[in-house]
Structure 1
């Protein structure tokens, strides 16, 4: 069997899909990945020896604001994304029997439309729960479509379906008509399907019993065999376990203030610091030898050797820290990050900094709580319950069906 894996977003959208592709290959299937053309994603997939088809524009310049600003109104930008991704996916999917897609909604809609045009199977993937209808949480706000002030979650999700169709229905239906496909009346549910794969762990992300149709597999973790850089390895061996500070693909502005606050908070807790530059380009605030700055390193190797992980609350970083049994302090910013911050706090495996203003004092208190023996013990105990076979489980389910 040959499967096209399609994704568009940051590393948190690309790496899990690479893990799925590797798991499919291990079961004898062929896989090819459509992903953003950022050099770091090309390196990631090349390291996994996985064929890549670039689709869309590089994501990092869009997220960090270092590229040219987008042109046209919302509808024009949606049309452009749909066309770019549809053409790339349609070509790459030649000879495939299935398309498995996630990422930004117009890119996923392009993947579903390509599958429909080719007459092949399609499975939708959610890498986090907050975009799937549920009784346990409301939908996110959509551009220009505020949620009603009242109504239960199910009513809000019905409103969300109307909002998504108002935003994306016309451009998706134009693409479908151009390819001889009938129009849709509910574009969200057609793209997400009634049976999505959910790449999360049931301990970190428990589902409501009535939320049927979702296949929860556990997180999709791409095995990372890279050794830590020699300088980082030496730093870790040279003293007590440090605090890791990193915010992945979140720009975190103003970056100098964020670095100053985070490093200062760790120092007030008498901890050394591993500062990950990330897409925020964080840099040391001084030349003291208690802080080392790293770029892209193996978190699976690093997190078990640090005292705490201070991060943005992305699904991947949350799961990696949980598997390592390392306490977490989460500073949520957007989309699903508040959800993961809340779950970390509810499970007692860390703390959530959810106040309106981040200060050295407030982050110092959060890290101090995270480092308590009770949370350290709870994080270690919870690590034994987290699934690490999610990609293999999903790959087997895809091939079995």
Structure 2
């Protein structure tokens, strides 16, 4: 079977697709990838040849960041038009000769249209339950509320998608010889999307009008060793607190506040610099700054994980059985913060309320014995076979 796997966005959007690619290749299938240009070298190191799609999502740093300005509405419209056309071009080219397309993430505008044109099946997989229209939650990761108001907000969300995208999608569908759409969101997701999230951490909501298959999270196994400097730091004292915000645009002052809070809790700090390139505030021996790291190897050796609430980091921390403190910023991150609180395996601090004091209070709560015990108990319930489940579904469909 020849499979096209496509992922657009940041590392958290792309890595699950790469995890499924590894599993499909292990089973002997021919795998093609579409990933943003800043991930081409990374997937090449894993032995894949990929077609670039979209733009590099990593923001500028240093002087470039200081000079960057917010785009105008006209620039945003031009960028969206370019991204939609690019998705159609890249996906159509890479899908030549393929038997199926799997698209990771909700902003996959071209995958199902290209599959329709080629007469092959396609499935879109989302990474959080709140990406699915449901009476159980509102768009944007907001949980709670009554079913009627949630559904009204999803209707508003659907209209917003149409206002931004329906003309652009229809123009590109016309290039493929396909008829026009009237509802972008329902087309993008289809009637049978997949939910690539763990059922304990992110249970399947009610999805009227859709038959959703929950595969479990798509996790990429990491065998990379920790660098000697980090190993030495871990061995030099009690388990530290990991702090990292991944690809989020966190300012240096926020990084300073987090370090202050962890120190006030009497803990050492492992600071992941991330795309924001966070730095240490001094040269004290209780902090170490690191670049990309094998979280699967590191998290079981820390006392707690402070992070932004991405689906991948939340799942990895849960698998490690370590308490979490989430500072959610946008997208599905508020949802994961709410799930961590509901399961009793951590705490959260709203981005707008972030301070050394608020984070210290949350960290102290997360480090309580009962929270740590629940985190340890949950760890064994988090499934690790999401890619295998997805691969089997693809193989059954092909058979």
For normalisation by structure 1, the TM-score amounts to 0.92
Question: How many residues in Structure 1 have an aligned counterpart in Structure 2?
Answer: 388
Quickly say closer, same or farther: Cα 1:377–1:81, change in 2 above 3 A: same
* Alpha-carbon contact 1:22-1:50 (below 8 Å) kept: no
Note the alpha carbon deviations across 1:294-346, whole angstroms, 9 max, x for none.
00010000000000000000000000000000100000110111110010011
Please state how far the C-alpha of 1:63 moved relative to its aligned partner. 10
Partner of 1:156: 153
Partner of 1:358: 354
Partner of 2:378: 382
Supply the distance in 2 between the matched residues of 1:75 and 1:236 (Cα, whole angstroms): 48
Asked whether 1:232 is paired with 2:234, we answer no
Partner of 1:263: 259
Asked whether 1:316 is paired with 2:318, we answer no
Q: Using the TM superposition, name which of 132-141 and 373-382 deviates more.
A: 132-141
Partner of 1:220: 218
Partner of 2:204: 207
| One of 84, 87, 96 as aligned partner of 1:85 | 87
Which sections of structure 1, spanning at least 5 residues, go unmatched? 142-148
Q: 2:203 aligns to what SS in structure 1? A: coil
Q: Using the TM superposition, name which of 155-164 and 215-224 deviates more.
A: 155-164
Supply the distance in 1 between the matched residues of 2:201 and 2:159 (Cα, whole angstroms): 30
Note the alpha carbon deviations across 1:343-387, whole angstroms, 9 max, x for none.
001100011112732111111111111111000000000001100
**RMSD, matched Cα:** 2.1
Asked whether 1:167 is paired with 2:167, we answer no
Supply the distance in 2 between the matched residues of 1:7 and 1:93 (Cα, whole angstroms): 14
Partner of 1:3: 3
* Alpha-carbon contact 2:261-2:356 (below 8 Å) kept: yes
Note the alpha carbon deviations across 1:18-51, whole angstroms, 9 max, x for none.
001111112221111100011xx23431332222
Q: 1:109 aligns to what SS in structure 2? A: coil
Which sections of structure 2, spanning at least 5 residues, go unmatched? none
Supply the distance in 2 between the matched residues of 1:62 and 1:95 (Cα, whole angstroms): 37
Please state how far the C-alpha of 1:62 moved relative to its aligned partner. 7.0
Partner of 1:146: none
Instruction: Show the 5 A alignment for 1:2-401.
Output: 2-38=2-38, 41-61=39-59, 66=65, 72-103=74-105, 105=107, 108-140=108-140, 151-208=148-205, 213-253=211-251, 255=252, 257-354=253-350, 356-401=352-397
Q: 2:3 aligns to what SS in structure 1? A: strand
* Alpha-carbon contact 1:63-1:251 (below 8 Å) kept: no
Quickly say closer, same or farther: Cα 1:74–1:113, change in 2 above 3 A: farther
